[in-house]
Amino acid sequence: MNITGRWAEASRFAAGSHIAVFSHDPDIAAIGRLLGFEFRDTILVLHPGPRTSFIFLFRAPVAGSVAEQVLQTGTGGLHIGASRIGGLRWPTNLVLVHSQTCGTVCASECPAVTLDRQSGERPAGGAITTSNQGPAAGSYHGGGSGASAWSGYGDAGGASRFYPSFKDVEELASWVARLIGADCAPHSTIVTSQQVHDIPT
């Protein structure tokens, strides 16, 4: 069965499996829902130029709760721990792809340079009340037993550091694969816009 067939029939996916569709076409979100998938989220990709594209995240319907599905098959949830920014920050809905001419210093057309120019120097946030498990498990609303103050990430710089950045689209695809668990959930996969439009109607 080819990758287009797997996309076209949600019933052939293990419950909770994810599909990430790389596309310039905003209609992909509607197509995925019509094919029986849950539309989870959209990631905006900033390329040099400037150009933009999208990554649409879909999930085959879960059987029961997400927690039950994860325990039963390992599918259903996103792999946040494997895709944090710098190993700490929560993955975002905006990602950056560097220019091919970026090196130790980024090229002027790089989206990271554009974003930093717009934002200027930005200190890290802090003074957030969290549980003893650290910022990943914390609450911006504080309180509760075992709560403690967290002083922040302790960094500073342009706003681009808040977003994942990749040297090329292939590296971005590897990050998305980790996010949807394609490396450990064989039914989760990545497809392109063209593969979606090749589906027979």
- DSSP line for 65-123: -HHHHHHHHS-SS--GGGS-BTTTBPP-SEEEE--TT-SSS--TT-HHHHHHHHH--EE
Mean pLDDT for the chain? 77
Q: Which amino acid is at 143?
A: G
- With cut-offs at 50, 70 and 90, classify the pLDDT of residue 160: very high
Range among 114-118, 135-139, 148-152, 181-185 rated most confident: 114-118
The stretch 75-82 carries a mean pLDDT of 88
Q: Which residues contact 32 (CB under 8 A, 6 or more apart)?
A: 19, 21, 39, 56, 58
The pLDDT value recorded for residue 197 is 43
* Residue 194 predicted with pLDDT over 60: no
The pLDDT value recorded for residue 11 is 57
24-28, 43-47, 142-146, 151-155: range with lowest mean pLDDT: 142-146
Range among 25-34, 58-67, 151-160, 188-197 rated most confident: 58-67
